Chains A and B, each alone.
Chain A
Amino acid sequence: MTTQDAPPTNPSKSFARAWEDIRTGVRSTELWGHLGWQDIKQRYRRSVIGPLWITLGMAVTAIGLGLLYSQLLGQQISTFLPYITVGFIVWNFIVGCVIEGTETFIRNEGLIKHLPAPLTVYALRTVWRQTLMMLHNLLVYVVLVAIFFPTLSEPYRLQDGGHQHPGLSWLVLLAIPAFLLLAFNGVWVTLFFGIISTRYRDIPQVINAFIQLVFFGTPIVWTTDTLLRFSGGDPGTASWRVLIAELNPMYHYVEIIRAPLIGNEQSWHHWAVVGGFTVFGWILAVVALRNFRARIPYWV
């Protein structure tokens, strides 16, 4: 307190510094781009078909479950298989961001302690890696659409007595902004969960315990039509069941991408919910970044 030009307060905790972290982090595109791509190459190094294993793994899961559940729930394979596949692809991206997000800073401990770099770089590394995996997975979708295009491009129902869906159209392009919005959410998820998990190492375990449950609660292997089935189409008695899906934010995230990609009927309320969560989540992440950004190197 003797030096005259000393700053009056601790300057580490300020929104300006948090914003600076995000700004410089985002601008280091070469750095996180390279690191994320490196992660993918790394994971499949020395395997013969390399990152195609991502694609193959998704194909096996989606097609296997698609065949199984279409029989269990009595649904058309030609429309249900693309439905379950896209659901899985989006879900994998979300789960990847959440689970690997919790480990973002913990796994980069060596780098964080040895090289000064914005924390956002590590978050973007994680999200970019998930994006690359998703692009690999989308190959499965492309193949399925090519095969089932005749049925998907006509109006169809996922389930007898369910919603009539308009079929594939130029609206498929909406999946692009939808994905950008999803990835944008991935960054706050990674930052926020990364920060709290670095401090409280129980958080990743808690999330791991619940994520499976959320998966089964999200309409991915089942459809919202199923919720209406028992009411015989009467929306009054079905309303509380519909809440199972509607109150689950994951449903809305999945739906904004899935609906355009398989030509389902789209509803703007999904976008509104996702938009709300985006704002809410980013506020959380920025506040966490402001308060704990400088603490991360001490915690890892």
Chain B
Amino acid sequence: MVSIDVWNASVDFPIFDAKSRSLKKAVLGKVGGHIGTEGRVPVIEALKDINLSLKTGDRVALVGHNGAGKSTLLRLLSGIYEPITGGSKIVGKIAPVFDLGVGMDPEISGIENIMIRGLFLGMNRKEMEKRVDDIAEFSELGDFLQMPLRAYSTGMRVRLALGIVTSIDPEILILDEGIGAVDAAFMDKARERLIDLVKRSGLLVFASHQDDLLLEMCDTAIWMDGGRMKMHGGLREVLTAYKGRDPYENLSPEMLERLGVAAGGEAR
């Protein structure tokens, strides 16, 4: 049984090197959280009043414009940030993927990167050694896995990162939008594996701007705006409210068919 519970949580970042003089007037722009100036050190109030209770089987999409607090919320849900006020409780093995490239060291080989990432995600060496072949096959990197990562092209790095992420068995899977920034051809190949991964994981929170991916993987959604949860409900209604139109409107017929099949449940 995995679960994430968050009570009245707020998160604010102290910005030690910002000149508070230039921030004397509290700025409340359209982008980013509220910048507070009460204390000596300016703080960015990234999240406020977050109440959330997720449990096994939840597939949550996270939408909102840039700086709305999506990534911060994901970090809160992964346990990386502990709330400044309020509390959070996370039960389960977490695999967060914020940026496909982070945690990858350019100077060491692909294989070694696989090992380190796996160890961080709670695997042991033996388990990861078993998965190396699978990752090599999926990423089509072959002997390149012995090369240092700096010799890789951007696309190759993404392939490796996706290979690692999709080879593990997390209980809680936290995906940030970066994962959507994969080129279309490889994404088609990765899609199956990603969906399979989502099915294996007990709980998914996925931030993305790509409706088709969200529709395929999630069933509920949270709309973040200015560090607060503006709306929490069914995926379709939240997306409709957020975008101002029904997300199903401009999907291709193939996509609709695939979603229909996915909704039927059996075909895959």
Contact = CB atoms under 8 A, between A and B. Distances in A.
A216 interface: no
A111 B96 CA distance: 11
Nearest to A199: B16
Interface residues of B, number: 36
Interface centre among A11, A42, A116 (most CB of B within 10 A): A116
A34 B116 contact: yes
B119 A12 contact: no
Interface string A278-300: 00000000000000001001110
B103 A12 contact: no
B247 interface: no
Nearest to A109: B102
Contact of A3 (B8, B103, B107, B116): B8
Contact of A297 (B80, B98, B116): B80
Interface string B78-98: 111111111101000010101
A205 B96 CA distance: 35
A229 interface: no
A110 interface: yes
A2 B49 CA distance: 11
Interface stretch (B57-65, B120-128, B257-265): B120-128
Interface footprint category on A: 20 to 34
A213 to B, nearest CB: 28
B212 interface: no
A38 B116 contact: yes
Nearest to A114: B102
B99 A114 contact: yes
A113 B103 CA distance: 10
A99 to B, nearest CB: 22
B14 A114 contact: no
A107 interface: no
Given A111-B120, A297-B80, A6 B94 contact: no
A12 B89 CA distance: 10
Contacts of A34: 115-116, 119, 125
Nearest to A7: B87
A6 B83 CA distance: 13
B103 A114 contact: yes
B98 A38 contact: no
A298 to B, nearest CB: 6
Given A3-B51, A6-B8, A115-B96, A38 B87 contact: no
A297 B80 CA distance: 7
A23 interface: no
A171 B2 CA distance: 54
Contacts of B75: 113, 297
A1 B10 CA distance: 12
Interface string A106-140: 00001111111100000000000000000000000
B79 A30 contact: no
B125 A298 contact: no
A56 B86 CA distance: 54
Given A30-B124, A38-B108, A42-B108, A6 B87 contact: yes
B108 A298 contact: no
Interface in A166-219: none
B13 A298 contact: yes
Contacts of A10: 83-87
B11 to A, nearest CB: 8
Contacts of A116: 78-80, 94, 96
B45 interface: no
B7 interface: yes
Contacts of A35: 116
B169 interface: no
A198 to B, nearest CB: 10
Interface string B187-231: 000000000000000000000000000000000000000000000
User: Which 8 A-B pairs rank lowest in CB-CB distance, beginning with the nearest?
Assistant: A294-B82, A6-B7, A7-B87, A12-B82, A31-B119, A116-B79, A114-B102, A115-B120
Interface of A: 1-3, 5-7, 10-12, 28, 30-31, 34-35, 38, 41-42, 45, 110-117, 294, 297-299
10 contacts: A5-B7, A6-B86, A12-B87, A31-B120, A113-B102, A114-B102, A115-B80, A116-B94, A294-B82, A297-B80
Given A7-B7, A38-B105, 12 more contacts: A1-B8, A7-B89, A30-B124, A30-B125, A34-B119, A38-B108, A42-B107, A114-B103, A115-B120, A115-B121, A116-B78, A298-B81
